Amino acid sequence: MSHDSSNSPRSKRLQLISDYGCTRSSKCRKPCSRSAETVSTRREAEPVRADVQGTQHLSGPGRAGLTGGPAAGRAAARAGAMAKLLSCVLGPRLYKIYRERDSERAPSSVPGTPTSVTNPHSSSWDTYYQPRALEKHADSILALASVFWSISYYSSPFAFFYLYRKGYLSLSKVVPFSHYAGTLLLLLAGVACLRGIGRWTNPQYRQFITILEATHRNHSAENKRQLANYNFDFRSWPVDFHWEEPSSRKESRGGPSRRGVALLRPEPLHRGTADTFLNRVKKLPCQITSYLVAHTLGRRMLYPGSVYLLQKALMPVLLQGQARLVEECHGRRAKLLACDGNEIDTMFVDRRGTAEPQGQKLVICCEGNAGFYEVGCVSTPLEAGYSVLGWNHPGFAGSTGVPFPQNEANAMDVVVQFAIHRLGFQPEDIILYAWSIGGFTATWAAMSYPDISAVILDASFDDLVPLALKVMPDSWRGLVTRTVRQHLNLNNAEQLCRYQGPVLLIRRTRDEIITTTVPEDIMSNRGNDLLLKFLQHRYPRVMAEEGLRVVRQWLEASSQLEEASIYSRWEVEEDWCLSVLRSYQAEHGPEFPWSVGEDMSADGRRQLALFLAQKHLNNFEATHCTPLPAQNFQMPWHL
């Protein structure tokens, strides 16, 4: 009979010495500092490796002794697999895996990253994310349920009224309905679990969720770089910049509180009226009505881009626009946390490393009421060669919240702070470019950050009230005016007049949105009123009766030929106008308003008024939504 030497006492002791470094007998019960130290050292030295399924196990000769045997290892593997499955069930939806640029490819630092992810020749990772059949069908069911829920939400007042009239809101009929609703919720929860299983079987999604979890644990540059290769539900994106970061408030004047940044408040409608308790009670019904109108119909009419159904319909276009910015323009996405708790979705394209000098300037783009940075006005300064920072309004795409004026200003504040303190641009190198309703946030930033280089307002307006009255019945005039002033007060002209730097206005000659009559009536364009209020504030003596009249005539011109005709009729001498303005600036300083033109003839004031109007406004023969060509994106005039 053969004798197995591996079971002899001597061989067992030698194995014990090899594993734990102890030379004593296995029956010894005395504490051994050397063996404890050796075991501890070995435990620390043994590598920990996380596989794609998220399980962790120890490697080395003493693995079985340290983990309690194969059973404990299997239990740990099952626990890790269940944790990964739960992460897949609760994880965000993955839309696309971007094509990595060769210069950015590097070995992964996240444990468990398969080599196929970083392999430059892996073509399967250069396309849209391809979900498995189970995940795809479950996603479709949940998306359909989300659309039905959104429709039910918007139609709920009418549905409740109908059910009440039909007598369906009685207890005997509500209880069965609640049972049906509970069953439906359980079914949807089961569909969500099936979707999670489908994700769990997909190595691409498992790799993504591993990187996402690692980034939430450790906000290292390498983890963020790897996470930037994925486009997924932005709610799960980690915050990149916080409004309370110490370095972000060093140069701010006062800084915002959690209640929000400072806004210009409208003056009371009836001055001199005593604000007694009785008057407050009388105003209460009107105030409640205004609040309800603003937070239901008004906000959605003013910012249709915040409506979920519209965003759902535009989702393919937005994903395509994001892919273009990331893959072709090397854009970097970031989440900013504003002082009101809203998360702002931003995209930064850095051109400072190019040979073009305008790349040293940053253009912060403010979109319109249905505009997104993915497909909005950011394309104009990008084509012109500038560095660009785009952001979405609160409630638009990846940004959270609702787009009320206070939330808009809070979002713009954290965007400017991000540009200065994280991206490294000085205020003197920042240009504000706004289209349409984006003029509100641009003029607020110009008022709040006076050192900003320039402001360009495209197809913007002076005040919201005339445009709101245009689309509402005349009988609602009082309610509309009160609602706008109290809750939706977009006072662009008032804010712009607080800014001292260069300004350029771009007027669309066939604008159908910010005209109060018809697009052909160019004098009803509210961009005219914005220019007149701006010039009257800066040059009140020049824009007196004669100057105001001749500028109105110039604004009525419907073509460049008519503009030139009016300009030449009054024989405007540009050299003379420049010399007058420069001599006044040298004597009195650059601070507006100026009293230039006080001792000037009527003819001289007309010339100065036309010269200043022509320098501050450019016409663009197009409708409201036509993209502005790069050649029309010009820096504002300044002395």
Active site residues: 436, 511, 588
- The C-alpha R_g of the chain, in whole angstroms, comes to 33
SS3 430: strand
Q: CA 463 to CA 490: how far, in whole Å?
A: 6
Q: CA 20 to CA 450: how far, in whole Å?
A: 70
Contact present, 87 and 81 (Cβ < 8 Å): no
Please report, for residues 44, 74, 140, 333, 427, the alpha-carbon distance to residue 421 in angstroms, rounded to integers and kept in the order given. 40, 49, 42, 16, 10
Handedness of CA 27, 33, 37, 40 (dihedral sign): positive
Q: Which value, to the nearest 10 degrees, does the dihedral of the CA atoms of residues 390, 391, 393, 396 take?
A: 100
| C-alpha count within 13 angstroms, C-beta hemisphere, residue 345 | 23
| CA proximity to 330, closest of 345, 352, 314 | 352
Q: CA 444 to CA 533: how far, in whole Å?
A: 16
Could you tell me how many residues make up the chain?
639
Maximal C-alpha separation, the chain:
128
| CA proximity to 628, closest of 447, 311, 363 | 363
| C-alpha count within 13 angstroms, C-beta hemisphere, residue 439 | 30
State the DSSP H helix or E strand holding residue 310, giving kind and residue range, or none if neither.
helix 308-327
Contact present, 414 and 336 (Cβ < 8 Å): yes
Contact present, 407 and 344 (Cβ < 8 Å): no
Q: Please, where are the H alpha helices in 1-132?
A: 9-20, 33-45, 63-67, 70-90, 115-118
Q: Judge if the upstream peptide bond of residue 157 is cis by omega within 30 degrees of 0.
A: no
Q: CA 462 to CA 470: how far, in whole Å?
A: 15
